[in-house]
Structure 1
Amino acid sequence: MTAYDDLMAYDHDTQALAQIAGRLGWDQETVMPRGAAPQRAEEMAALESVLHARRTDPRVGDWLAALDGVSLDPVAAANVREITRSYERASKVPAKLAATLARVTSAAQGKWADARAGDDYAAFAPVLSEVIDLKREEGAALAAGGDVYDAMLADYEPGTTAADLQGMFGALRPALSELRTAILEQPKPQGVTGAFDEAAQLKLSALLAQTFGYNTDHGRIDKAVHPFSSGSGLDVRITTRTNLHDPFNCFYSTIHEVGHACYEQNIDTDYLLTPLGQGVSMGVHESQSRIYENQIGRSRAFTGWLFGQMRDAFGDFGIDSEEAFCAAVNRVSNGYIRTEADEVQYNLHVLLRFDLERALMAGDLQVGDLEAAWNDRFEADFGYKVDKASNGVLQDVHWSVGLFGYFPTYSLGNVYAGCLHDALRSAVPDLDAQLSVGDTSAATGWLQQNLQRHGGLYEPREVIERASGQVPGPEPLLAYLRAKFSDIYAL
């Protein structure tokens, strides 16, 4: 076992350095001076060079070879599985390419933000072309003759292919479109009215984070253009955003990111700074953020409690009953922004991106044609035209930082959440009674015990199957959405 001990001691430092890289990314999106972007790009490239060298160090290969065929306990076997996966992946990507990608994507993030602010896709297109060329090169190296997009997808959801997702999404899209059409034919629920003080929004947002179990002794809440969660173990940070006339944007962004953060905070501390000390995949991660935000946070029971908190914080805001408030929280209406979309339409936004990024990676769609392709697809799916680039192709940060293969994990996470919600309801039959008084502990405790504490111990599909008792598929999600929105809209 000396080889295993040496391997884990070495990997401990690699994991620590990766956390530092993540903290630099957090800083860049929150408090870094805008003028620091060129230097930050160099810093990120330098750190990525160090990480790449560590991940491809020949000693890692020697230690892994020494362990080949050795009988290991489940935790050790899982650590070796993850280190092997990292070693094999990093060994396929040239060090210079890894550093260049880190440098270019760090700079591209700032250029995306400027282009988004100016609604100017043409200003962003050149650096996006550079990112895509580099990602294609990386994907080809990783695929080694196989499917380039599948190789990218493996970074975020190991064991899943585009063909798997296409089958799953093929079942989702027509069902969601049909439900959307039926809902939009009904009278639209009343929304909130008035202006909502930012400080009061952030105060209630902090209460919601605490209500869902976020530990601020090991985390913090900041503001960002695009809400996100960062870190793992003892330092897990989230961001949110505010909108003067839409407090739900702040509240549900916070709950969503708390779902991510609690997953990381609740992993068994024995796994700290090991390959198992973080969420096993982005699909599983999204299952946590989406079940916190939607099945729990937008439930009729929990919105009844939140209605009282809103009245205490803001007084009269145009809604006078818990029933009307639940309908307002779950209001289905036209909109451009994925992160603000209701549960019925959210996955349609994701499927648009999934199809477009696959076409980009395959070379079937050129960067110069992307904005028009986006706008055409959006109009076909939603029935109205995109009005400006910040509401269309420039709304998400993901492509600027090279996250190709990431978008489909959002919908996969929704599918996983549907399966978990079924099991949660069976395990906690009085869940609504608890949520109606703002007590989420039974729900979050069940998720911690059955999924979150395992970190990377099990493969993604396996951890969902173990927790939910079923093979993941879209049926539970669709059944939940049909029941919920048929009730709200009297379908």
Structure 2
Amino acid sequence: MTAYSELMAFQRETEALGQVAGRLGWDQETVMPEGATPQRAEEHGAMANILHARRIDPRVAEWLQTAKAADDVAAANLRHIKRSYERTAKVPAALAAELAKTTSLAHRVWAQSRADEDVAGFLPMLQKVVDLRREEAAAIAGNSDPYDALLDDYEPGATGESLSAMFAALRPRLVALRAAILERPAPAALSGTFDETGQLALSKKLALAFGYALESGRIDKAVHPFSSGSGLDVRITTRTNAVDPFNCFYSTIHEVGHAAYEQSIDPQHLLTPLGAGVSMGVHESQSRIYENQLGRSRAFTGWLYGQMRDQFGDFGIADEDAFYATVNRVSDCFIRTEADEVQYNLHVLLRFDLERALMSGDLAVTDLEAAWNDRFAADFGYAVDKPSNGVLQDVHWSEGLFGYFPTYTLGNVYAGCLHEALRGAVPGLDDDLARGDTSKATGWLRANVQQFGGLRTPVQTIAHATGSAPTEGPLLDYLEDKFNGIYGL
């Protein structure tokens, strides 16, 4: 065997163990009994120890020194393995295990604190998570910005400074569009209740309409919807709300975007570094273009209107045009995951700034709730009414995912670029979407983005699909055109 083939055989086992670790997380958030939390934390810690040891195994360094890349696929695999080795080698094994154990415990503390509206009950555990992530970031960064070290874990090549510049370009036009919209009469909101059985039945139909392969997946419920796994086992979750079925439907479509990416990667990359999405920003571009540019389009919502009438009967919205406006209604909203397209990124930018301040030490954990509430009032013009609508609403910080939030807005930027290219490549797309047929759109994304997995860098992935480097312009143009039309601006 060559050094490359030996390395890839070893890496295949590492990737498989990583999938097992991910399944532990899926189980914890869906069906694990409450009393299992302490044991699951130990299990997470044990898996983290095993994976850490494999990723810095001395043989990996030896193989990397002598392995030769015969083609672009091999070169990309070596790039990913080298990056993982160098990052992991900087983090002590004990710290990696403690992080895994602590974040497993913190997840349950967060969930209970959120249910109890008890910020004080969560802050001591959050402080532990922040301290551990600061220690990890410092170990990886050396003389560089520690926050960049964390961000690089989710979006290789991105920096806090570069994202700040992009977000600064986004904010003025988003704020202006939001202000103009809120001066106009709002479309009708949904009223009444929608039974859970009907929501889940239509949710499954939507998942299938967007190409989710249930033979290698499943749909479950969770407090915070997510997608988990890759290759032949890719699972999603959704949630229901009796008075807001859109929460269920668009959570499902969003997670199917993530899952479709993983299910569509070339099978030759299975259980290799290329066998998963290249970054969280690119991943989010798939979920957001499925959810918004396709799922909330006038054409597709026309089809969805008929499906909802079939499922629930007359639910008080007069016609397809009125339904399209209702689906895209801009209104006050505390919850990021329920926010409309215009305001969503303002929610993300708030979190980006706060977590950078937490990691740098400029913001104390004990001051986080006040900082959140002040920033929210400044950006949105009204006060947070309870912690579950504010600082406790997201699971991310309890799981130590600092550096993750900005990839949501970066994903929206990527989605804007991809949508512009998709519309140019697939004329007449709306005729298909009006029949509930997304196959040409999802097929284009599969062919131009999804099948390649981690073959290219994130920026290269978007540039390959669109023909140019990503920029915020197409997203802003899309939003202004869409909402100017809906609101008659």
Report Cα offsets for 1:408-455 as digits up to 9, x if no partner: 000000000000000000011100011001000000000000000000
Q: Which runs of 5+ in 2 are unaligned?
A: none
Aligned equivalent of 2:287: 289
Partner of 2:25: 25
- In structure 1, the partner of 2:14 is 14
TM-score normalised per structure 2: 1.00
User: What is the match of residue 39 of structure 2?
Assistant: 39
**Structure 1 residue 192, shift from structure 2 partner:** 1.3
Which residue is equivalent to 2:228?
A: 230
Listed as ranges, the matches of 1:156-235 within 5 Å are 156-235=154-233
Return the match for 2:114 from 73, 93, 116.
116
Which amino acid in structure 2 is aligned with residue 12 of structure 1? Answer: R
Counterparts of 2:296 and 2:289 in 1: how far apart (Å)? 9
Q: State the partner residue of 2:446.
A: 448
Task: Tell me the secondary structure at the aligned position of residue 220 of structure 2.
Answer: strand
Aligned to 1:426: 424
1:63-462 superposed matches below 5 A: 63-67=63-67, 70-462=68-460
Tell me the CA shift for residue 71 of structure 1: 4.8
> Are residue 463 (structure 1) and residue 461 (structure 2) matched?
yes
What one-letter code is carried by the residue in structure 1 that aligns with 2:419? H
Shift, 1:14, TM fit:
0.2
| CA drift at 1:145 | 1.6
In structure 2, distance between residues paired with 1:151 and 1:196: 45
Amino acid at match of 2:296: R
RMSD: 0.6
Question: How many residue pairs were aligned?
Answer: 489
Deviation at 1:144, TM superposition (A): 1.2
User: Helix, strand or coil: the match of 1:155?
Assistant: helix
Return the offset for 1:316: 1.1
**In the alignment, residue 25 of structure 1 is paired with which amino acid?**
G
Measured against aligned partners, the alpha-carbon deviations of 1:100-128 in whole angstroms (never above 9, x if no partner) come to 00000000000000000001100000000
For residue 17 of structure 1, what is the amino acid of its counterpart? L
The separation in 1 between residues aligned to 2:40 and 2:142, in whole angstroms, is 32
* CA distance in structure 1 between the partners assigned to 2:428 and 2:380 by the alignment: 38
TM-score, structure 1 normalization: 0.99
Report the Cα offset of residue 305 of structure 1: 0.3
Residue identity in the other structure for 1:42:
E
Q: What amino acid is aligned across from residue 80 of structure 1 in structure 2?
A: L
SS in 2 for 1:237: strand
Deviations 1:369-404 (A, max 9, x none): 000000000000000000000000000000000000
Name the CA distance, whole Å, in 2 between partners of 1:212 and 1:288. Answer: 11
Query: What SS class does the counterpart of residue 386 from structure 1 fall into?
Result: coil
SS at match of 2:154: coil
Name the CA distance, whole Å, in 2 between partners of 1:177 and 1:469: 29
Shift of 1:72: 2.9
Name 2:56's counterpart in structure 1: 56
The separation in 1 between residues aligned to 2:96 and 2:134, in whole angstroms, is 12
- Rounded to whole Å, the distance in 2 between the matches of 1:432 and 1:262 is 21
**SS, match of residue 190 in structure 1:** coil
Give structure 1 stretches of 5+ with no counterpart: none
Identity of aligned residues (%): 70
Moved over 3 A (4+): none
Give the AA of the match of 1:208.
L
**Secondary structure, aligned partner of 2:155:** coil
- 1:52-77 deviation digits (Å, cap 9, x = unpaired): 0000000000000113xx45310000
